[in-house]
Amino acid sequence: MVKKLTQEAIELLKKLISKQSFSGEENETALLIMQWFSSHNIKFESDKHNVWAKNRYFNPSKKTILLNSHHDTVKPNKGYTRNPLSPDLEDGKLFGLGSNDAGGCLVSLLATFTYFYNREDLKYNFVIVASAEEENSGPNGLNSMLKIIPDIDFAIVGEPTLMNLAIAEKGLMVMNCEAKGTAGHAAHGIGDNAIYNSIEDINWFRTYEFPKISETLGKVKMTVTQINAGHQHNVIPATCNYVVDVRVTDAYSNQEVFEIIQSNVKSEVCPRSLRLNSSSIPKEHPIVQAGIKLGRETYGSPTLSDQAVLNCPSLKLGPGQSLRSHTADEFIYVNEIEEGVQLYIKILEEIV
């Protein structure tokens, strides 16, 4: 059964690659996922472009595991030498946009869910969500499903980890900052230069060390990534706007980091969002221990996923390699998908 499901999953991934599914435009891939459920006699529901299902013998008195991955993609970058929507198989590599991030994870989880769907003896319930709008952290993705699906006790989020156990993930907070001054004529040197006023704060962002260091994720990292000031060579600018990318560890909440920033800089700072917090799962958790038992390594992930919107313990785990995500001529090895299905099932069999 596992071998058959795996081959069906690979064929589904080829179909998913062939359909454009940029964030917010996932209608065609959603239909393919619905067809998967229908062909396996699985009852499903959908909301916008999210498709979800419960195991056949779902029991509200049992704890529930969420299996989640996304079917939206980023837009292909200009470095592609192949048709990004052509699922080409060469030398064991399946090429195509979204193959690695996160199509391989999604189809592996669909196969895993299908494997367990008809089991009556499970200790846990299963809910699977094939979600939309992960890549742009949009309003109609997994976050919108949390009020629709049953309460979740813990989650496996499918992202490429080479099937190692990402037990923590950094959160993200993007800060819009504005240093202020007074306009004046550059020839006279009269005015309060907002660019100069920004330098002290930018240097603080570059050098400040948050005192608490996460065991798995290390330090909070702040990086100034954009800056804009002035409109004319002979006018001292009254404002200097810049953007700071802040990667938050599980040692702090986004709100705590924002308050520390606000108390240390003179610039006006405004977070675009406080909702993309870091996430983690205890190393002692049964699902983590099951993975360790099977020889998988634990680590902390610097990249953001839909874990950020969950309020339960969550594990990032999936076939493929994170470094291939969003690259030109993206690919996943077929044997990574085969291993992914097998390991998902083996790890879950240890606890369910």
Quick one: which of 49, 170, 162, 155 has its CA closest to 100? 162
Same domain, 156 and 82: yes
Q: How far apart are CA 80 and CA 91, in angstroms?
A: 18
Of the three residues 249, 271, 293, the one that is the final residue of a domain is 271
Q: What does the pLDDT read at residue 218?
A: 94
Same domain, 294 and 267: no
pLDDT averages per 10-residue partition of the chain, 352 residues: 96 98 97 98 97 98 98 95 97 97 97 98 97 94 96 97 96 96 87 94 98 94 97 94 96 96 98 91 96 96 90 96 95 98 98 94
Same domain, 77 and 87: yes
- 134 touches 142 (CB < 8 A): yes
Domain range for residue 239? 171-271
Q: What does the pLDDT read at residue 10?
A: 98
Same domain, 136 and 206: no
Same domain, 257 and 285: no
Q: What does the pLDDT read at residue 188?
A: 83
What's the full length of the chain, in residues?
352
Same domain, 193 and 298: no
Same domain, 72 and 148: yes
Look up the pTM and report it: 0.89
pLDDT, tens digit, 9 for 90 and up, residues 260-308: 999 999 999 999 989 898 999 999 999 999 999 999 999 999 888 999 8
Please report, for the domain that includes residue 196, its CATH number.
3.30.70.360
Q: How far apart are CA 185 and CA 182, in angstroms?
A: 10
Same domain, 157 and 187: no
Q: How far apart are CA 302 and CA 216, in angstroms?
A: 10
Judged on CB neighbours under 10 Å (0-12, 13-18, 19+), 231 is: exposed
- 281 touches 167 (CB < 8 A): yes
pLDDT, tens digit, 9 for 90 and up, residues 191-218: 899 999 999 999 999 999 999 999 999 9
Q: How far apart are CA 271 and CA 255, in angstroms?
A: 9
Per the structure block, which two tokens stand in for 125? 């319930």
Q: Give me the number of domains the chain comprises.
A: 2
Same domain, 186 and 55: no
Same domain, 175 and 260: yes
Of the three residues 226, 255, 271, the one that is the final residue of a domain is 271
Same domain, 73 and 162: yes
- 69 touches 105 (CB < 8 A): yes
Angle between helices 104-117 and 334-349 (to 10 degrees): 40
Compute CA distances 258 → 248, 264, 277, 311, whole Å: 10, 10, 12, 20
Q: What does the pLDDT read at residue 149?
A: 98
Q: What does the pLDDT read at residue 88?
A: 97
